[in-house]
Amino acid sequence: MKRNILLVLAVAASLFLSGCGYNKMVSLQEQVSSQWAQVENVYQRRADLIPNLVNTVKGYAEHEQETLTQVIEARSKATSVKVDPGNMTPEAIQQFNQAQEGLSSALSRLMVVIERYPDLKANQNFLDLQAQLEGTENRIAVERMKFNEVTQAYNSYIRQFPQLIYSGWFGFDKKQYFEAQPGADTAPEVQF
């Protein structure tokens, strides 16, 4: 008799969880976490290319030590900031973005310095690294877009009725999107 009651309760709980979309919320949450891991993967690829780029430039531009040091420090800071997919707060995403923006800025300054060295710009190793870095920057943009897409699907689902009632009970909270940095909507002023 007790076994039958437990079986009925188990079936009822299973139907309840299926009916409230629990399994789909889990699946969507896992997609967000998986896509976040892919975003981190492409950022790591960029970070892995930087030491080779710095070493190649160092051979040609030894007196540009300050710029090279800034790139190395920005890389170190960018790789030290980690965001837990289970706790993607706006503050954590902002801190991650700021560290990555710092690295992007340092790389931009390095590319400006490189313009002064025609021999370096003709070096095949440098050209290969530059092409890989450009490709990686494109991958970063694509993976961030995909992250925002799966985050949008997750956020939309947990905010729909009836999931909206149950999502909070089970700890399915809204996830943060990647957003443009402040000032990104303003074109930079170029002067010659």
What the chain holds in terms of domains, given with CATH numbers, is 25-167 (1.20.1440.20)
Output the pLDDT for position 185. 47
21's CB contacts (< 8 A; 6+ apart) are 157, 162, 163, 166
Q: Which two tokens stand for residue 96?
A: 């991650």
The pLDDT mean for the chain works out to 83
- Which residue's entry shows tokens 């370096």? 120
4-22 pLDDT, tens per residue?
Answer: 776 656 655 555 555 568 8
Contact 106, 74 (CB under 8 A): yes
86-101 pLDDT, tens per residue?
Answer: 777 888 888 898 999 9
Q: Which two tokens stand for residue 47?
A: 């970070």
Q: Which two tokens stand for residue 5?
A: 């009651």
The pLDDT confidence band at residue 122, using thresholds 50, 70 and 90, is confident
pTM of the model: 0.76
